[in-house]
Amino acid sequence: MATAVNDEATAALWPATLPGDAANQPLTVAPALAKKLEKLGIRRRFDFILHLPLRYEDETHLFPIVDAPYNRVVLVEGEVTAQQVQYQPRKQLVATLADGKGVLQLRFIHFYPSQIKQLTVGNRIRALGEVRRGFHGDEMVHPKIREVVPDMPLADSLTPIYSTVNGLNQPTLRKLVQAQLHSLPLDDTLPVSLLDKLQLDSFATAVQLLHQPTPDYSAAQLSDPQLSAWQRLKFDELLAQQLSMRLAYRSRRQGAAAVMHSKGELVARLMASLPFALTRAQQRVLAEISTDLQQSHPMHRLLQGDVGSGKTIVAALSALLAIEAGYQVALMAPTEILAEQHYFKLSSWLQPLGIRVSWLSGSLTKKQKQAAIAEISSGEASLAIGTHALFQHGVEFARLGLVIVDEQHRFGVSQRLALQAKGGESHQLMMSATPIPRTLAMSFYADLDVSVIDELPPGRTPVVTKLINSQRRDQIIAHVDKTCAEGQQVYWVCPLIEESETLQLQTAVDTHLQLSAELAPLQVGLLHGRMKPDEKAAIMSAFAANQLQVLVATTVIEVGVDVPNASLMVIEHAERMGLSQLHQLRGRVGRGSAKSICVLMFEPPLSELAKARLKVIYENTDGFEIARQDLQIRGPGEFLGARQSGLPMLRFADLEEDIALLEAAREWAPLLLERFPEAADAHLLRWLAGREHFLKA
Ligand code: ADP
Ligand code: MG
């Protein structure tokens, strides 16, 4: 699919008028209807064109009842010969339809008075539905029915079925779509030469076929994602995404940011004080960041590295580059626990170099907060560490130059937009332990530069993963005891209970009581999301200092926690957790030199899906591979989580299936922007209609 991009003839083949205006014409419908359409994402006239059918129904052909095949939707016609509202086993409307040779029951468990009327004995009816073998002979359950009037023709093409909302029926929606299809210009946004090279349909051909299929297409053909019409729409969608990503990237490069020159003295001093040397991968990404910081446009770099790959020290060294150049740095983490750990760790590294590190979180007293804010705004603090409180109202940096965001994917869109507003001119380093599979990186993250730490620090013994039936809980507890007797520490992760946070809390409290009793005199701590931040911090530091040997926790510890002496992790009800989540949790152990074990406790019987997922985590230690399989199981929507909310998701394209189209779109986007900027504009307007700004968050 990917083709060489060079064509002099393109300009000559350019369509005379670009369809930009048509794309944005507002709707002229009653407010009540507009509200329903809004729910479908239809705000402009052109959105009807892009509201493509979910599937098709075949009303082009009438089957004699005796010949009607089972298990597929068919249309039959006949006379109602009996009608009855039954009350056993439950209330239902049953009518008998006969066409001379065959007989069929039409059964409705939910029905309206209008349907009783339509099914009056003697009426001629067309019924569309699946014929099934019922207890009393062949039947259709909830068929679509229509009264036959004399000379009523059959449809001459398949009937498109659209996604819709309550109160907006298919025929009405279909009419609205048809009206726009016949009145709006459907000119192409793309050069003909591009379409030729990629062998794509014209836009008009594609949408006309999909909204109004010709009789020679079967429902199966029309639903085939390989159909050229669908290929065209997928390409358009992917191209729009690529264009907007590139524009975001470009506009950032045109922005101004501080050029940071540093001799690297602070970096050298910190490195000299560390008990370890940087891995080659850490050195490489630090060099990439250093180069970025010396540019006059803002850095926007994603630093990816599997759990335990050592991102924190890279963040600290990057901060030193900015600080030595005379700027302030903000380090933001998604949870209090993580932010505070960073605060302790970075203070211990940086304070000895004479650098003031300040701490800002929602849990500080008013007085402490004011003190922190004062240090930040006077410039006395060179590094400010905290949660999103760092970018809230009232916090003004004296000379902010670099923003570092840890576990970037944990932040919601609104938090990222707030950061963008305050720190937009700063260099930004986003760190994430959730590896992004290639296709996602190529599409949703195409606006970022990416550095990868693809190597773990030396001397780690890989974590051994064990799958253990929860019936062997006693043995596991005995093993916890033994591990602690050897001087190591243990995490015990309580199950995720999605339906009820209260229940989840209760489970954690119960487990804590039980383990405290069984493991005495070992000290067992409890950590959960409902605790006050200072309570959490106290527990975490007690655990870090080995005053607590066992830490019972909810998944709050999933992110970033670093206690190298912990070498055993027990996860209850592992089958309820997501793969990335399990991988993150498991990454909390195996950080020291001791051999580490992660016990995935499961509750039998396991579903096939649960088995498949646990197998993935059991067999793989590479976060990338786990993420790839996770993406396959969950799909990109959930995988992307917060980054995607409020953002136009891919509606037609599928990242696994349409990789060739994605590659082609990625290749063509820069060419269009450079040589046909009006076309790129028209294309963006058609597909994204001013929603592009979300993509920049
Ligand atoms: P993550 O990438 O998951 O945030 P951390 O930055 O918390 O990982 O690092 C995990 C552990 O590895 C920490 O205890 C850290 O001090 C240690 N570490 C980092 N880099 C190295 C290195 N090059 N050699 C040895 N240990 C390292
Ligand atoms: Mg980390």
Q: What gap in Å lies between CA 549 and CA 491, rounded to an integer?
A: 9
- CA triple 691-694-697, angle to 5 deg: 165
For atom 16 of ligand 1, the residue with the nearest CA is 310
Kindly give, in sequence order, each residue whose CB lies less than 8 Å from that of residue 209, ignoring residues fewer than 6 positions away.
Answer: 201, 217, 222, 229
Task: Please identify every stretch of the chain with a pLDDT value under 50, giving residue numbers as ranges.
Answer: 1-16, 641-648, 692-697
- CA triple 655-657-661, angle to 5 deg: 75
Q: What gap in Å lies between CA 162 and CA 602, rounded to an integer?
A: 42
Q: How does strand 427-432 pair with strand 137-141?
A: unpaired
Contacts 24+ apart (CB under 8 A), 630-637: 630/578, 630/579, 630/580, 631/437, 631/439, 631/440, 631/655, 631/656, 632/656, 633/579, 633/609, 634/578, 636/440, 636/444
- The whole-number pLDDT of residue 496 equals 73
Q: 3-state class of 442 per DSSP?
A: helix
HEC per residue, 396-427: CCCCEEEEEECCHHHCCHHHHHHHHHHHCCCE
Tens of pLDDT, residues 15-70: 445 666 777 788 888 899 999 999 888 989 999 999 999 999 888 889 999 999 99
Q: How does strand 550-553 pair with strand 489-493?
A: parallel
Is the C-alpha dihedral spanning 493, 495, 499, 503 positive or negative?
Answer: negative
Is the C-alpha dihedral spanning 212, 215, 219, 225 positive or negative?
Answer: negative
- The whole-number pLDDT of residue 572 equals 94
- The whole-number pLDDT of residue 12 equals 36
Determine the distance separating the centroid of ligand 2 and the alpha carbon of 567, expressed in angstroms: 18
Q: What gap in Å lies between CA 604 and CA 470, rounded to an integer?
A: 8
State which ligand 1 atom lies nearest to the alpha carbon of 305: 2
- The whole-number pLDDT of residue 126 equals 95
State which ligand 1 atom lies nearest to the alpha carbon of 315: 6
Ligand 2 ion: nearby residues, β-carbon < 5 Å: 560
Q: What gap in Å lies between CA 60 and CA 621, rounded to an integer?
A: 55
State which ligand 1 atom lies nearest to the alpha carbon of 345: 16
- The whole-number pLDDT of residue 143 equals 94
Ligand 1 lined by 387 (C-beta under 6 Å): no
pLDDT > 70: what percent of the chain? 91
Ligand 1 lined by 434 (C-beta under 6 Å): no
Determine the distance separating the centroid of ligand 1 and the alpha carbon of 63, expressed in angstroms: 70
State which ligand 1 atom lies nearest to the alpha carbon of 587: 3
State which ligand 1 atom lies nearest to the alpha carbon of 278: 23
- Whether the Cβ atoms of residue 568 and residue 589 lie closer than 8 Å to each other: yes
Q: What gap in Å lies between CA 665 and CA 650, rounded to an integer?
A: 14
Structure letter (DSSP) for residue 644: G
Q: What gap in Å lies between CA 50 and CA 107, rounded to an integer?
A: 36
Ligand 1 lined by 494 (C-beta under 6 Å): no
φ/ψ of residue 3, rounded to 5? -130, 160
CA contacts within 13 A on the Cβ side of 307: 27
- The whole-number pLDDT of residue 340 equals 85
Ligand 1 lined by 308 (C-beta under 6 Å): yes
Q: What gap in Å lies between CA 190 and CA 43, rounded to an integer?
A: 23
Ligand 1 lined by 648 (C-beta under 6 Å): no
HEC per residue, 166-191: CCCCHHHHHHHHHHHHHHCCCCCCCC
Ligand 1 lined by 437 (C-beta under 6 Å): no
Kindly give, in sequence order, each residue whose CB lies less than 8 Å from that of residue 412, ignoring residues fewer than 6 positions away.
Answer: 642, 645
Domains and their CATH numbers in the chain:
8-55+166-249 (no CATH), 61-154 (2.40.50.140), 265-453 (3.40.50.300), 463-620 (3.40.50.300)
Determine the distance separating the centroid of ligand 1 and the alpha carbon of 554, expressed in angstroms: 23
User: Structure tokens of 5?
Assistant: 């991009």
Q: What gap in Å lies between CA 672 and CA 190, rounded to an integer?
A: 9
Ligand 1 lined by 311 (C-beta under 6 Å): yes
Determine the distance separating the centroid of ligand 1 and the alpha carbon of 592, expressed in angstroms: 10
- Identify the helix (H) or strand (E) that includes residue 217: none
- The whole-number pLDDT of residue 311 equals 94
Determine the distance separating the centroid of ligand 1 and the alpha carbon of 231, expressed in angstroms: 45
Tens of pLDDT, residues 413-453: 666 667 767 766 899 999 987 767 777 777 777 778 889 99
Radius of gyration of the chain (CA): 31
